[in-house]
Chains A and B, each alone.
Chain A
Amino acid sequence: KAGVTQTPRYLIKTRGQQVTLSCSPISGHRSVSWYQQTPGQGLQFLFEYFSETQRNKGNFPGRFSGRQFSNSRSEMNVSTLELGDSALYLCASSGQGAAYNEQFFGPGTRLTVL
């Protein structure tokens, strides 16, 4: 079974631009979560989608948004980029058989904002 894939792996943007990151979950997994990882704050939960519906959202500004498609693939968008948005963005999927919401992570997208 193929793992979670994320594209692109690396991205460099400038302040004020917007960016879209993509995530393909493990086949059969319908839950997709997004996390931001920085050295100072660690992994912070952004949002989680299931069957195209956002079920939970973390404490991030509205510049961060996401969506999920009918094939469970997900995208997240960050608008009006700020220097502080530089981070590793991780996508994780979880199957319906996961009793404790165990997450399977992709390798992440490294975003650098200049």
Chain B
Amino acid sequence: TQLLEQSPQFLSIQEGENLTVYCNSSSVFSSLQWYRQEPGEGPVLLVTVVTGGEVKKLKRLTFQFGDARKDSSLHITAAQPGDTGLYLCAGPGGSNYKLTFGKGTLLTVNP
């Protein structure tokens, strides 16, 4: 079973600060996805990274896929309270029809 470890587990910061969260594995993944889940809702897909070394930007969010495709990071610039949520990474779980999720990073951005 391919496992995804996310760190930190919890992160509480002030509005305007920058932050990075990580998603690591000992296995190679053909692709990784990042989702954000807000309280009372299901996860929402933010981005998919597929090429080693790839960098994708979504407004103030920057996603990077490691060169060896074993890790990924999410950097948020000038965090806002609306960024609050659970950030999850996910990758193929040994099958094209199954996703394995990390346990997530719970981010709180205080005004």
Contact = CB atoms under 8 A, between A and B. Distances in A.
Interface of A: 4, 31, 33, 35, 41-45, 48, 50, 55-56, 58, 90, 92, 100-108
Interface string B75-107: 000000000000010101101111111111000
B51 to A, nearest CB: 12
A107 B41 contact: yes
Contacts of A33: 97-99
B33 A107 contact: no
What 10 A-B pairs have minimum CB-CB distances, sorted nearest first?
A105-B42, A42-B103, A43-B101, A100-B31, A56-B97, A55-B97, A56-B98, A48-B97, A105-B43, A100-B48
B44 interface: yes
A44 B31 CA distance: 18
A102 B42 contact: no
B43 A48 contact: no
8 contacts: A42-B101, A42-B104, A43-B88, A48-B97, A55-B97, A103-B33, A103-B35, A105-B35
